[in-house]
Structure formats: structure tokens, C-alpha cells
Structure 1
């Protein structure tokens, strides 16, 4: 599903070999930092203007937007280069679009416009937990959460979780009970965890992944954490700062490495340090971030 296109036209700005940021503008949930300069003013025959657009559309992400597609047009008021169209597909926040354009002069007066269409992620289908955990001849015990009964199979749960393996053992009184209460957890959260492997797996999305990690750690379900990490690596649109914290907090080394690799500039590091999640990172991860920044210089 997609929404109406978001259109914007900039002002006109002078550009030469000394310019950098030309304009910073917020418009309908999109902030764009537009930069441009001519880095080769000494070689007239190969003059090129390098334009960069850095988009921050976190507000739209929070409203369910999955990606933005469309185009940018950049113009020369003095006709030193032809109007140029750049196709755009934004899938990550603070993503940069870079374009070098051949120009017939080392300075110019320039402007741009964009038209970007927001695409909304489909709403995940809500699982019917009551139906999922109803009585069956395959089940041999009942877990009770917030007064609701979940009919499950001891062997199957024990295979996936050390917590349930211990709970159902003869060393605990619960192992001998027909109905076993599970306290200090909501029915929705507990059923979400079990649904990732019982009776057949469902998959996390950005709205459930953090809760799933929390529950997977509490109830020692390693497959839930692996499923969450796979989602975060391959499908998620969660911002890198948040994803980095999740990887550090819940021990997901592959995701952690991916997030650290995205920190490539001093500006990226400064932005991360400003985030509220930075202070919650472990010292070990902060050292890895520092080493990554040094290596990239």
C-alpha cells in the first residue's frame, strides 16, 4: 500500500569549490540535508559538481512507512548543466543519494525538487492464540497465564527451551501438576513466544521483535532469539542505533557486526553518541565502535 506523493521544491543556492551544505529542510515528515560543491575547479575540461541528499524520514517510519520511492530533479539556473533526474529508493533512514554532474563552469546557481511516494508495510496478521492453544490429543499439559489456558505438549516445549525442560522435570512440583501457572507475564507476550515454534512457527516483525527477544531470553528459547536476529538482519527497517542496542543487549553477534559496519564516518559516530541508546551499550561494544571508526579513517 502506498500514500500520496510528497513533493518539495528548494530555493536557489550558489555553488562553487568551497560550498558544502546548501540547505536543510523538513517537509511533511522528511528532513533533507542537501550538499554540493565543485571539487575540481583547477581542471576546466572535467568540471563536475558533486551533489548529496541525506534523508531523515524517521517520523514516517514511526507511522508505518516501509520505504520511499520517486525521483529528484536538480537544475542549473545558468544552464551550465542540463536538468538532471535521479531515481530514488529509500529503504533506510539517513540514507544518502549522491550524484556527480558534468558542468561547464566551476560555479553555478542551483536548485532541486523531489517527489517521493511513501510505501506502507502490510499490517501483520494477528494470530488467534486461543485457537492455537486449544485442547488436542497431541497435548498433555496445560499452562495457565492470566487465567487463560494454553494446551501444550511437554516434550515439544522441552526440546525448544531449557526453562520448560526443567519445569516439566520430576525435580519440580510443577512437573506433576495437570495445570501449571506461569506468573509475571502477560498472556499475549507468552503466547507470542510460544507461537514462534509451537505448533508451527510464525515470524517476528518490527513491532514484535523486541518483546520476542525479551521473552526468548527469560524463558531460554534460543530459537526465538535466532528468529529475531534473522528478521533484523534481512527484513527490518528499525534504525541502526536501535538495532545496535538490541544486538548488544541480547547477544546477537552477526547483527552486531552488521550494525558496526554501518558506522563509517565521524558524523555517523557523533549521531550515534547523541542517541539515547548509546549510553546503554556495553563497554565491549563501545570499544568495537571506536576500533571500527579508527579503521575507516
Structure 2
């Protein structure tokens, strides 16, 4: 088997209905994995799964609210039953609410904590229970969590989001240590995506203008590019390919690591 060949493996991707998650699901499927897309967006998730199936991939959809234990139990059970196992979990689902600290909205921060931190923690929990010896999958595997360059570079207007993504980094490292010490056979890593012009990324640039931090959304994007040594924004495929790497045998001796995929912005 080639290092990046995921043939015979099964992956569950959260937030896979659109944006980065859809790109990650596509990349995993292209590498040969059978993929379950989990998302609260039922219509969009189903459409994404159907689109990928049309290309010959094995892709299914399951409703998944990452902040709910019962939803995780159902999604993991469905994945194991429908696709024959579980080898890879990509904790990608996330939400972003911009705002100045002086105007912090309690509910917006609470929602980000629920999805971005609790959602990832529960994803690791249920991945471990399924993949460890004696679990319904039981063959070990890989968990890839999606953090953000915002966890490594201070950026105004997104303090709550940055804090939650820094939390993803810590969860990743503790989980990797526990898995190793307890013999679960599950590698746990995370990626730090840079700014990508998905719907979320475009809205973030617009928010910077509305908050008065930049004169325009274009100026905000221009400054991000100016801080990026490779001189461009990220693309969905840049992030998706990094996830495939961490899920594959090419990263078989990598765990507890955070991989910047930000064009050098966070160095």
C-alpha cells in the first residue's frame, strides 16, 4: 500500500457538508477511504455526499450535532454499520463569531465553546471508544482535529474563536498522550489552517470592516496575504491534503503534533 493510499479504511468527517469539511471528505475519498459526512445541515450534507458518490466514491451522510453525546453515539454506530468500520475521525466542525472583546456577547462565545471545544472533545472520546481494543471498530486509527492559525497568531476581532482553537491544540496533545499510554493505537494530531476564502473566511473579512478594524474587507485580506510568506490565501485542497497526510501511513510515527497549513503566516 502506498503511504497516502487509504483504500480499505473508513473516515468520519464532521462539518463535512460544505467548505473545508467537504473538501476534506473529497480528498479522503479520492485517497480510497469510504467516508461518512456528519453535519447538522442535513440537506447540504446529503447533497455533498450524493455529489461525491457520482464520482465513484463511497460516501454517506449522517446527521451529527457534535456538541451532543447521543448524536455522536448514533453517528459512530451508523458509520461502523454502514461502512464496515472506523479508522479516521476528522473533527472539522466549527463556528466563528467575530466581535471586539469590549463588546463580547456571552451567547456567541458559549456557542463557539460548545461546537469548537466540546464538539472536538466528544469527537475524540467517541473515536477512542470505537477504535481502541475491544471497541466496535477496534483496530486503532487516526484522529485529525482542525484548529486554526488564529491559535498561533493574535488577530483582532476574533478573541473567542482564537481561544477555542487554542483549546483544540491542547485537547490534541493530551489525547495523543492518553492514547499512547493506554495502548489505544490511535494517533491524534491537528492542523492549523490559514485563511481560506470559504463562506466563513469571506464573512470574516467582511466582519473586520464592520468592526472598524480595517477600511474594507479587501484591505483585511490584503494584510493577511502580506503576512503570509507564500504570498497567497490558502485553498481548500491545501488543507484537505494535509488531513490526508496525517490520516495516512506516511504519518505513522506522528502523534500529538500541530501542523501549520498557513503559508508560513504563523511561524
Q: TM-score, normalised by structure 2?
A: 0.24
Higher relative contact order at CA 8 Å, sep ≥6: structure 1 or structure 2? 2
Higher helix share: 2
Q: Tell which structure's C-alpha radius of gyration is larger.
A: 1
Q: TM-score, normalised by structure 1?
A: 0.22
